[in-house]
Chains A and B, each alone.
Chain A
Amino acid sequence: MEDLYREIIIDRYKNPQYRGHLDPNQVQFEDDNPLCGDHIEVTLQVDANGRVTDGRFDGKGCAISQASADLLVESVIGKPLDELKQLSKQDVLDLLGIDLGPVRLKCALLSLKVLKAGVYGLGEASDDLVE
């Protein structure tokens, strides 16, 4: 728990590297966590080979939700979309470098949920996507 607000999380929260909105984009999705008001939008640009060439997130919420979105978007740039479908809860926790209780886990995983729902082209983001 001492590591929950690691420097990287506070730093990415205060100075996000990938905040914004890409237009045009090939993948766009947004969702929120009504319990705490966290909101995340992810936009990706994808080349003809199905590889992510650029990505951005936008939204508001707690440090954990925003920092994890920033780190997640950074981590997927250059990867093929198919690989994004394999991303799991653990991948996000590894990016953050922390362990989280169930309530804060929802904050951390919102961006992954949004990203995967967008990649799969789904109408809604289900919790099953981040199990």
Chain B
Amino acid sequence: MSLDIQAIRHDFPILSRQVQGGAGLVYLDSTATSQKPLAVLQAMETFYRQNNANIHRGVHTLAEEATAMYESAREKVAGFIHAASSEQVIFTRNASEAINLVAATWARASLKAGDLVVLTEMEHHSNLVPWHMLAAERQVELEFVPVTADGLLDQDVYRALLARGPKLVAFTAMSNVLGTINPVKEMTRLAHAAGAVVVVDGAQSVPHLPVDVQTLDVDFLAFSAHKMLGPTGIGALYGKKDLLEGMPPYMGGGDMIKTVHLRSFVPNDLPHKFEAGTPAIAEAVGFGAAVDYLQTIGMDRIAAHEGEMIAYALERLEEVPGLKVFGPPAEQKGGVAAFTLDDIHPHDVAQILDRDGIAVRAGHHCAQPLHEKFGIPATTRASFYLYSTPEEVDRLVEGIYKVKKIFG
């Protein structure tokens, strides 16, 4: 059963606003951040109006309510990715912080000079730079699985790299530029067989695809609330329990301790061990509401809708002369279309589209090495979500023809 898009759009007030001289907004930038449904906005407002208090240790009514709401959000998020227990979900600021947490704790404690870390050429900077920083500090060696001309990971090279016995493999489940959906389960199985720990950047996959961490068997999964209908300022790290328990704490401060003395401390149990200081409580509540909203609609149906959207978008975009979409065909791709148009700079494309209310992103999308690989400084990227419509693709294509006319 397909989605009732008009009903869904009704839940997102921002989608009916006008921009640029009365043009209706065509929001095609959900890969950067998604829009938020009323359910999320209201959950956060209600929290601040009714329940706001700091969490844990408080004995008054509000503190107990706030704590229960915060922990209930954790349970919802854990359930959403099918984690075995909610203590395996650490709230972070975003996916970047989740990856940095693993790099700063597990990796620092476990990797030594000369150890091999396998990454890929399609990573977002957030799954590259933490490892660059670690490599500089620990002299670990970084190798990269190449991206093929069709925008897929070269699995032969991946296998060859695994044969060298890496300690860690970190890759994205879905490219934020090419849209490539990587075979996470198979890549994880191979990495484990080679003895490596697996970190998966789920910033794009968790919002758009059904994700079951137990089936995938990944060791760590990082994702952000704001890309999945939730607020900014909160994300999550899922980890296997034995790994999380063995890791040193990340940041020090309140909440992450069991006891503190003048010269020592004992870290708290999971998940609090990794959550120093007052966390983003209202944002956690919003994150929980976002997950509820997505689950009510159903991730299978959302993924199917996006599959239809990208298939239609590719069909329409590829009919435009001089337009080249990067990445694999629709069936191996999420709802992301990054493209070049003749020699027109993406900034110019995006700016002219903006005049018609069409919001796309132009640049390297925090994946500069990937753009270098394809020999281009930047692309224009249109991306879709559960509220996107084929009519919006039509408006995009119309806008692109306008760009061509201006620069023709």
Contact = CB atoms under 8 A, between A and B. Distances in A.
Interface of A: 1-2, 4-5, 10, 13-14, 34-38, 61-64, 103-104, 107
B185 interface: no
Given A63-B345, A104-B351, A1 B377 contact: no
Contact of A62 (B20, B347, B376): B347
B355 A37 contact: no
B48 interface: no
A5 B345 contact: no
In order of increasing CB-CB distance, the 4 nearest A-B pairs are A37-B377, A62-B345, A62-B347, A63-B348
Contacts of B265: none
Given A10-B406, A36-B378, A37-B378, A107 B347 contact: yes
B352 interface: yes
9 contacts: A5-B351, A5-B406, A10-B406, A36-B346, A36-B347, A62-B345, A62-B346, A63-B345, A107-B347
B348 A35 contact: no
Nearest to A103: B347
Nearest to A9: B348
B22 to A, nearest CB: 12
A2 B347 contact: no
Contacts of A38: 345, 377
A64 B347 contact: yes
B20 A36 contact: no
B364 A35 contact: yes
B20 A1 contact: yes
Interface string B389-408: 00000000000000000110
Nearest to B20: A1
B21 interface: yes
Nearest to B351: A4
A4 B378 CA distance: 20
B363 interface: yes
Given A2-B21, A10-B407, A36 B348 contact: no
Contact of B363 (A1, A5, A36, A61): A36
A104 B347 contact: yes
Contacts of A1: 20, 354-355
Contacts of A37: 345, 376-378
Contacts of A107: 347
Interface of B: 20-21, 345-348, 351-352, 354-355, 362-364, 368, 376-378, 406-407
Contacts, number: 46
A78 B140 CA distance: 56
Given A5-B406, A36-B363, A63-B348, 9 more contacts: A1-B354, A2-B21, A2-B355, A4-B351, A10-B407, A13-B407, A36-B346, A36-B362, A63-B407
Among A1, A36, A107, the one with the most B-chain Cβ atoms within 10 Å of its Cβ is A36
Nearest to A63: B348
A13 B342 CA distance: 15
Contacts of A62: 345-348
A120 to B, nearest CB: 27
Nearest to A100: B351
A60 B377 CA distance: 11
Contacts of B346: 36, 62
Contacts of B368: 34
A61 B345 contact: yes
Contacts of B20: 1
A64 B344 CA distance: 11
B351 A35 contact: no
A36 B406 contact: no
Q: Which one of B354, B364, B377, B406 has the greatest number of beta carbons of chain A within 10 Å?
A: B377
B345 A36 contact: yes
A80 to B, nearest CB: 34
Contacts of B354: 1
A36 B377 contact: yes
Contacts of B347: 36, 62, 64, 103-104, 107
A33 to B, nearest CB: 9
A11 to B, nearest CB: 11
Indicate the member of A1, A63, A103 with the most B CB atoms within 10 Å: A63
A10 B405 CA distance: 11
A94 to B, nearest CB: 20
A64 to B, nearest CB: 7
A105 to B, nearest CB: 12
Contacts of A63: 345, 348, 407
Nearest to B347: A62
A61 B376 CA distance: 11
Q: Most B CB atoms within 10 A — which of A2, A62, A103, A107?
A: A62
Contacts of B355: 1-2, 4
Nearest to B343: A60
A10 B345 CA distance: 13
Nearest to A14: B407
A7 to B, nearest CB: 10
